Amino acid sequence: MTNPNIQKMLSKYQVKLNEQTKIREILQETALLGLERHGFFEKAAFYGGTALRILYGLDRFSEDLDFTLLKSDKNFDFNPFLEGMRKEIASFGFEMEVSVKTKNVETSVISAFLKMNTIQIYLAIGNEKTKNVHPEEKIQIKLEVDVDPPPNFRVENRLVLNPVSFYVLTLHKSDLFAGKMHAALYRAWKGRVKGRDWYDLEWYIRNKIPLNLRYLETIMQQARNLDPKKSLDRDKLLELLNERIQKVDWASAKADMRTFIAEPEKLNIWSPSYFADLSSHLLVE
Query: Phi/psi of residue 76, each to 5°?
Result: -60, 135
With 0-12 / 13-18 / 19 or more C-beta atoms within 10 angstroms meaning exposed / middle / buried, residue 217 is buried
Q: Where are the alpha helices (DSSP H) in 91-131?
A: 118-124
Torsion angle of alpha carbons 11, 31, 66, 207, nearest 10°? 30
- pLDDT for the residue 225: 97
> Residue 163, preceding bond cis, omega within 30 degrees?
yes
Express each pLDDT in 14-44 by its tens digit.
Answer: 555 567 777 888 899 999 999 999 999 999 9
- pLDDT for the residue 38: 95
- pLDDT for the residue 3: 61
Express each pLDDT in 112-128 by its tens digit.
Answer: 999 988 777 777 766 76
**In the chain, ranges of CATH 3.10.450.620 domains:** 1-171
Query: pTM for the full model?
Result: 0.90
- pLDDT for the residue 234: 98
Counting as low any pLDDT under 70, the low residues of the chain are: 1-18, 104-105, 125-126, 128-129
Helix%, strand%, coil% for the chain, nearest 5? 45, 15, 40
**With respect to CATH, is domain 1-171 assigned 1.10.150.130?**
no
